[in-house]
Amino acid sequence: MMEELHSLDPRRQELLEARFTGVGVAKGPLNSESSNQSLCSVGSLSDKELETPEKKQNDQRNRKRKAEAYETSQGKGTPRGHKISDYFEFAGGSGPGTSPGRSVPPVARSSPQHSLSNPLPRRVEQPLYGVDGSAAKEPQEEHSALPTLMSVMLAKQRLENEQLAQRGGGLCFTFVSAQQGSPSSTGSGNTEHSCTSQKQISIQHKQSQSDLTMEKISALENSKNSDLEKKEGRIDDLLRANCDLRRQIDEQQKMLEKYKERLNRCVTMSKKLLIEKSKQEKMACRDKSMQDRLRLGHFTTVRHGASFTEQWTDGYAFQNLIKQQERINSQREEIERQRKMLAKRKPPAMGQTPPASTEQKQRKNKTNGAENETLTLAEYHEQEEIFKLRLGHLKKEEAEIQAELERLERVRNLHIRELKRIHNEDNSQFKDHPTLNDRYLLLHLLGRGGFSEVYKAFDLTEQRYVAVKIHQLNKNWRDEKKENYHKHACREYRIHKELDHPRIVKLYDYFSLDTDSFCTVLEYCEGNDLDFYLKQHKLMSEKEARSIIMQIVNALKYLNEIKPPIIHYDLKPGNILLVNGTACGEIKITDFGLSKIMDDDSYNSVDGMELTSQGAGTYWYLPPECFVVGKEPPKISNKVDVWSVGVIFYQCLYGRKPFGHNQSQQDILQENTILKATEVQFPPKPVVTPEAKAFIRRCLAYRKEDRIDVQQLACDPYLLPHIRKSVSTSSPAGAAIASTSGSSNNSSSN
């Protein structure tokens, strides 16, 4: 830009100065005192801007004013008013109207280019000099309108500077006016004096104000440029890293979609294989059930009046056993008849003479046949021994048939259970392997209760087998009854979901199917429950039963240590799952539908808590206090579960319930069977240790005040192996010590 300004010819430079100052330019030589030299800061003006029609018009006006000023300086009068230049203080002119002298150093006035040679937009304060280097002298002229015109000029220049700054250039205009003492043109007689005052007005844009030197500005520019380059480099690096990350994200997204698609295919294939396996198992179960129908029996529909009922018909296995029993009975009758005949042929004893009547009878018998002949004593004993052996063999066969019949009855019970399961599965709306909640694939029905169905299912998310319990409400129920049932199930869910113990079945999930059904997802155990095992085997050894009781007590101890404690209230063999299906493995407790929460509001450590659900539960396993009827509901505590433990242990050892065996729940309630169960009786067989009987008595104490609680039950010596062994081994030793001490006392007394 500076080279372009220096390349201007002097005439254009003068026109440019006149454009900024607004004062006419004299046409005289450059060394004349009246010649105009302007000092201004250089802006961002180009030659193209100066050559526009507006600039040319302004330049013509300035030349016209210069000519008028020149005529005025020659003494020619003019009738027009004051000009703008008349309001400034002039130096070096012969009279008013001459152009003011600019305070430009000689070096700056040597050539026109030096007037625009300073590129720095900073304030310039210099005195005014003439052409020869002496201080220029101008006549001092005052006017009353000077402040007003000066403010107008300043405002005009400020406006132009702001406009130029907005277009990208910051210009600094400096008006310098010097006042010196010199003889006036009118010959007023004032003496010459040096420069007495100097007045300078600077107009600068705010963005162009700076006290920095070119070196500092250059250093700052270099620093800023280097910082900018670093930032741009950092931005480029970040952009490249961002692009790489986006590319990696896209690749990972594609890979994720690929894995999702693969996972969906795997899940689909798993569902297909599981469904095929389930169908094969269903077909195998139905084939086996059909074969067992012929062997064990089946249900037939029989009409009774206007109604139809199902009646059980035994299969050929039972019919064969019945025929064998009939054959054995007929053989026994025949042997008994022959023994009676043999008794008639019994010979008389040795040394006894038969009477005359006997001799006459023997003669008649000889005439009647050989079979009525009298046997000798040896023959009689021989025949008698044969009959005894035959009766013994028939008795053994009868015992075997009876044992086989009992075994078949147990198998028949399982067969009937399987027939009912198949019938319920065929009539279920979930028989076609639906996927519930987009997660649980139903495989086959495990069992059905009053208002619920339990399915074996597969969790497609966690890849594990689970048990899905589907609660279905009766559509004919009132809304109040549905709400109560749902509330009861939600309560069971809230109780069960907080439990975490290896001897308690875990609850995984809970969700609704529709307005009349909802599901709970439980841990799946491969084996059956204890009730199923007892129906198959009737009883178990004391060691196996004790192992099961120890695990049950461990779970009850956990339920009473959590806050708030929980009473299970429905302990029975059907709610005790055998993990391996055998009595020598682990067990898990399930079904917390009737559980009681012993919170601070309802539970009292002395009396217990009120039983609000009297009549619910399984009567064979509930203590007597649950059957007490009065004005107020009975009080219960965790001793209810202790009674249930005693009943379960008794049933495992003896194969029967201690109270109300072979009675229905209605009969137990009507006959007050449990209220009369003041003392437990033990059959002679099978043989059980006295410690086990004592443990059962402590659990089945009639009064709840005399019964131990769960904490005492967990510390019972019978359930602690080392303590039980030490007690059992120390008792004979103590007896021996007592006997020896007694004998020593006797000997000393003698």
pLDDT in tens, 369-426: 445 567 788 888 888 899 889 999 999 999 999 999 988 888 888 899 899 999 999 9
- Is the bond preceding residue 686 a cis peptide, omega within 30 degrees? yes
Is the torsion defined by CA of 54, 59, 62, 67 positive or negative?
negative
Q: What is the DSSP string of 547-601?
A: HHHHHHHHHHHHHHHSSS-EE-----GGGEEETTSSTTS-EEE---TT-EE--TT
DSSP type of residue 349: P
Residue 748 has pLDDT above 60, yes or no: no
Q: Is 76 annotated as a binding residue?
A: no
Q: Say what the pLDDT of residue 447 is.
A: 87
Q: Say what the pLDDT of residue 349 is.
A: 67
More confident residue, 569 or 136: 569
pLDDT-derived band at 632, boundaries 50, 70, 90: confident
Q: Say what the pLDDT of residue 422 is.
A: 92
Q: Is 516 among the catalytic positions? A: no
More confident residue, 186 or 555: 555
CATH code of the domain occupying 535-731:
1.10.510.10
Distances (CA, A) of 743 to 488, 622, 733: 69, 51, 15
Residue 24 has pLDDT above 50, yes or no: no
Say yes or no: domain 435-523 is CATH 3.30.200.20: yes
**Mean pLDDT, the chain, as a whole number?**
74
Catalytic, out of 509, 570, 591, 641: 570
Residue 459 has pLDDT above 90, yes or no: yes
Residue 643 has pLDDT above 90, yes or no: yes
CA torsion angle 427 433 437 439 (round to 10)? 150
SS3 category, 468 = strand
More confident residue, 489 or 207: 489
- 175 membership: H or E segment, kind and range: strand 173-181
Question: Which amino acid type is present at position 627?
Answer: F
Least confident interval from 349-363, 442-456, 639-653: 349-363
Residue 346 has pLDDT above 70, yes or no: yes
Exposure b/e, 302-317, CB count within 10 A at least 16 = b? eeeeeeeeeeeeebeb
Question: Which amino acid type is present at position 406?
Answer: E
Residue 66 · residue 48 · CB < 8 Å: no
For range 489-499, the mean pLDDT: 82
More confident residue, 626 or 186: 626
**pTM for the whole thing?**
0.60
The structural domains of the chain, with segments of one domain joined by +, span: 2-209, 435-523, 535-731
Assign 3-state DSSP to the chain and report helix, strand, coil percentages, each to 5: 50, 15, 35
More confident residue, 194 or 483: 483
Q: Say what the pLDDT of residue 4 is.
A: 52
- Predicted confidence (pLDDT) per residue in 263-274, tens digit: 999 999 999 999
- Predicted confidence (pLDDT) per residue in 513-556, tens digit: 887 888 999 999 988 899 989 988 888 999 999 999 999 999 99
Supply φ then ψ for residue 616, to 5 degrees.
-90, 160
State the Cα–Cα distance between residues 97 and 85, nearest whole angstrom.
7
Residue 628 has pLDDT above 70, yes or no: yes
State the Cα–Cα distance between residues 424 and 642, nearest whole angstrom.
35
Exposure b/e, 367-403, CB count within 10 A at least 16 = b? eeeeeeebbeeeebeebeeeeeebeeebeeeeeebee
Residue 58 has pLDDT above 90, yes or no: no
Q: Say what the pLDDT of residue 463 is.
A: 92
- Report the 10 Å Cβ neighbour count for 529: 22
